Amino acid sequence: MNIFRLTGDLSHLAAIIILLLKIWKTRSCAGISGKSQILFALVFTTRYLDLLTSFISLYNTSMKFIYIGCAYATVYMIYAKFKATYDGNHDTFRVEFLVVPIGGLAFLVNHDFSPLEILWTFSIYLESVAILPQLFMISKTGEAETITTHYLFFLGLYRALYLMNWIWRFYFEGFFDMIAIVAGVVQTILYCDFFYLYVTKVLKGKKLSLPA
Amino acid sequence: DESEKDKDEL
């Protein structure tokens, strides 16, 4: 464990909690892409199956349960509890165009052709593009609630911190995982446009509205 | 074993 990975995990946890509290407190999921949240639940489910097979540490196991629990709770709130506030008309990204090719890619490019490893690879690839429906929805509505921009900021920051973690681990431990690194770079690049808007607008107290 | 350690990231 190093400082980049720890702050990365805490940033990820903060994002997940911010979103959960936003929906719970405002009793509304307006502006939130349910499709992205389904993809994240799928990412955690396919990545954390090793909960059943191996124990690494209390931290590792507890964080995985928290991530999975919050992800499904968020999906439940969007599609069941606060379904009336779900903005389906703007959440129209064709996720099948992501899931199917990525499923194929996970079979072709992986470290080991075993079920757990292919599912882990699938979850790594999927996570890198899972935010696209959410970013697409914001581009369609042309704006985002400020709390949603904080959610996206911490979510984007977490993988950027993981990139630093991998530089650290390569330098000090000689460890590196090309699949996770390439997917992590793609994932972080997808947030660059948002990071620019977040820093130039939201941090200056303005609302995040795309070029109107 | 080594592979277990590698998958110690979330």
pLDDT tens digits for A1-37? Answer: 999 999 999 999 999 999 999 999 999 999 999 999 9
B2: pLDDT strictly greater than 90: no
User: How does the average pLDDT of chain A come out, rounded?
Assistant: 97
B7 to chain A, closest Cα gap in Å: 9
Burial of A58 (0-12, 13-18, 19+ CB in 10 A): exposed
Q: Say if A67 is an interface residue toward chain B (CB within 8 Å).
A: yes
A98: which residues sit within 8 A by CB, 6+ positions away?
A: A39, A126, A129, A130, A132
- Tell me how far the alpha carbon of residue A192 is from its chain's centroid: 15
**How high is the ipTM of this complex?**
0.85
pLDDT at position B7 is: 84
**pLDDT band at residue A211, thresholds of 50, 70 and 90?**
confident
What percent of chain A shows pLDDT beyond 70?
Answer: 100
Q: Which residues, in sequence order, are bridge partners of residue A140?
A: none
pLDDT at position A99 is: 98
Q: Tell me if A5 and B9 make a contact (CB, 8 A cut-off).
A: yes
Q: Tell me if A120 and B9 make a contact (CB, 8 A cut-off).
A: no
B8: nearest CA partner in chain A: A56
**pLDDT band at residue B1, thresholds of 50, 70 and 90?**
very low
A31 to chain B, closest Cα gap in Å: 27
B5: pLDDT strictly greater than 90: no
pLDDT per position as a tens digit, A23-32: 999 999 999 9
Q: What residues of chain A, 3 to 42, have a C-beta less than 8 Å from chain B?
A: 5, 9, 12
A48: pLDDT strictly greater than 80: yes
Q: Say if A53 is an interface residue toward chain B (CB within 8 Å).
A: no
Q: Tell me if B9 and A162 make a contact (CB, 8 A cut-off).
A: yes
A2: nearest CA partner in chain B: B9
Q: Tell me if A63 and B10 make a contact (CB, 8 A cut-off).
A: yes
